[in-house]
Amino acid sequence: MLSGFSAVKNSYRHSLDHLNISRAEVHDERTVLYLKPMEPNHLLQLSILVHQDFEVENLKAAVLKVYDYYETDDSVEVGYEAPRGSESG
Protein backbone atom coordinates (compact mmCIF):
# COMPACT_ATOMS: atom_id res chain seq x y z
CA MET A 1 0.00 0.00 0.00
CA LEU A 2 1.20 3.52 -0.64
CA SER A 3 2.47 5.25 2.49
CA GLY A 4 -0.28 7.20 4.21
CA PHE A 5 -3.08 5.26 2.48
CA SER A 6 -5.24 2.31 3.50
CA ALA A 7 -7.54 0.13 1.40
CA VAL A 8 -11.30 0.47 1.70
CA LYS A 9 -12.38 -2.99 2.82
CA ASN A 10 -14.30 -4.98 0.18
CA SER A 11 -14.05 -2.15 -2.38
CA TYR A 12 -12.63 -4.67 -4.87
CA ARG A 13 -16.16 -6.11 -5.13
CA HIS A 14 -17.05 -3.21 -7.45
CA SER A 15 -14.48 -4.45 -10.00
CA LEU A 16 -15.60 -6.26 -13.12
CA ASP A 17 -13.44 -9.28 -12.23
CA HIS A 18 -14.36 -9.49 -8.52
CA LEU A 19 -15.76 -13.02 -8.96
CA ASN A 20 -12.21 -14.26 -9.59
CA ILE A 21 -11.36 -13.55 -5.94
CA SER A 22 -11.93 -16.39 -3.51
CA ARG A 23 -10.76 -14.56 -0.38
CA ALA A 24 -9.42 -11.17 0.66
CA GLU A 25 -7.41 -9.94 3.63
CA VAL A 26 -7.21 -6.19 4.13
CA HIS A 27 -4.56 -4.94 6.54
CA ASP A 28 -3.28 -1.44 7.27
CA GLU A 29 -0.14 -1.80 5.19
CA ARG A 30 -1.13 -4.44 2.64
CA THR A 31 -4.02 -6.12 0.93
CA VAL A 32 -3.88 -9.80 0.01
CA LEU A 33 -6.27 -11.16 -2.62
CA TYR A 34 -6.51 -14.90 -3.26
CA LEU A 35 -7.49 -15.51 -6.88
CA LYS A 36 -9.28 -18.54 -8.24
CA PRO A 37 -7.38 -20.54 -10.88
CA MET A 38 -7.38 -18.78 -14.23
CA GLU A 39 -6.55 -19.64 -17.80
CA PRO A 40 -3.04 -18.72 -19.00
CA ASN A 41 -2.75 -15.19 -20.39
CA HIS A 42 -6.05 -14.17 -18.78
CA LEU A 43 -6.20 -10.42 -18.20
CA LEU A 44 -7.51 -9.53 -14.75
CA GLN A 45 -8.57 -5.99 -13.93
CA LEU A 46 -9.32 -5.05 -10.34
CA SER A 47 -9.86 -1.71 -8.67
CA ILE A 48 -9.36 -1.09 -4.98
CA LEU A 49 -10.48 2.15 -3.41
CA VAL A 50 -8.05 3.70 -0.97
CA HIS A 51 -8.41 6.29 1.74
CA GLN A 52 -5.68 8.83 2.49
CA ASP A 53 -5.12 8.55 6.23
CA PHE A 54 -2.39 11.20 6.35
CA GLU A 55 -0.30 13.25 3.95
CA VAL A 56 3.18 11.99 3.05
CA GLU A 57 5.77 14.18 1.35
CA ASN A 58 7.81 12.71 -1.51
CA LEU A 59 5.50 9.72 -1.84
CA LYS A 60 7.43 6.77 -3.27
CA ALA A 61 6.13 3.94 -5.43
CA ALA A 62 4.63 0.92 -3.71
CA VAL A 63 5.10 -2.69 -4.81
CA LEU A 64 2.47 -5.03 -6.20
CA LYS A 65 3.49 -8.69 -6.09
CA VAL A 66 1.61 -11.49 -7.82
CA TYR A 67 2.64 -15.08 -7.21
CA ASP A 68 1.43 -18.65 -7.32
CA TYR A 69 0.45 -19.75 -3.82
CA TYR A 70 1.98 -23.20 -4.31
CA GLU A 71 4.94 -22.16 -6.49
CA THR A 72 6.10 -18.93 -4.85
CA ASP A 73 9.15 -18.71 -7.13
CA ASP A 74 6.69 -18.15 -9.99
CA SER A 75 6.09 -14.46 -9.31
CA VAL A 76 6.25 -10.94 -10.67
CA GLU A 77 6.64 -7.57 -8.93
CA VAL A 78 5.82 -4.14 -10.26
CA GLY A 79 5.94 -0.68 -8.71
CA TYR A 80 2.95 1.62 -8.82
CA GLU A 81 2.37 5.24 -7.90
CA ALA A 82 -0.59 7.33 -6.87
CA PRO A 83 -2.42 8.68 -9.93
CA ARG A 84 -1.65 12.31 -10.72
CA GLY A 85 -3.97 14.71 -8.97
CA SER A 86 -4.63 12.31 -6.08
CA GLU A 87 -2.22 14.08 -3.74
CA SER A 88 -3.32 17.05 -1.71
CA GLY A 89 -1.72 20.28 -2.83
In our burial notation (b when 16+ CB lie closer than 10 A, e otherwise), range 37-52 reads eeeeeeeeebebebee
Quote the pLDDT of residue 85.
Answer: 59
**Per-residue model confidence (pLDDT) at position 12:** 82
Series of mean pLDDT values for 10-residue runs along the chain (89 residues)? 86 83 82 85 84 88 87 88 60
- Predicted confidence at residue 88, as pLDDT, reads 46
Nearest CA among 49, 46, 48, 26 for reference residue 35? 46
pTM > 0.85: no
